[in-house]
Amino acid sequence: MNEKIKNNINNKIDKRLEWGAEKYNQELNVFDGRDWIKEAEEEIIDALVYLEAFQMMKKENTVETKNDYLENLNTLKTEIASIENDIDDALSSMQDAFDTVYGLSDIIHKMKTDLK
């Protein structure tokens, strides 16, 4: 695993150096008078800013995701309650129909009995 990490880092360094050479039409000149400690410090501060921005974005997305989840959950609860009401109405209608049919059956049975 450590070898894979090392290779990944080396590949990224190689690509970055190639990118810089193409952009500036020359390889990195370590003797160009720059303050390399200051350069590194600025890059580290930039990296910290990027990491903090990422953390803020992640936190906001998490909050939005939770809010979306809760909103969807509430919508589902409302839909389930509506379906439960529809089922209750359907069962009540079926009971009414059964009562009517059963009542008619009793009437028909009584009429048959009376005719005999």
Q: Which amino acid is at 97?
A: A
Per-residue pLDDT of 73-114, as tens digits, reads 889 899 999 999 889 888 888 888 877 777 777 777 777 777
Average pLDDT over residues 57-69: 81
Domain residue spans of the chain:
34-85
- Cα gap 96→90, rounded to integer Å: 10
- Reported as a pLDDT band with limits 50, 70 and 90, residue 38 is very high
What pLDDT was estimated at residue 43? 94
What pLDDT was estimated at residue 116? 66
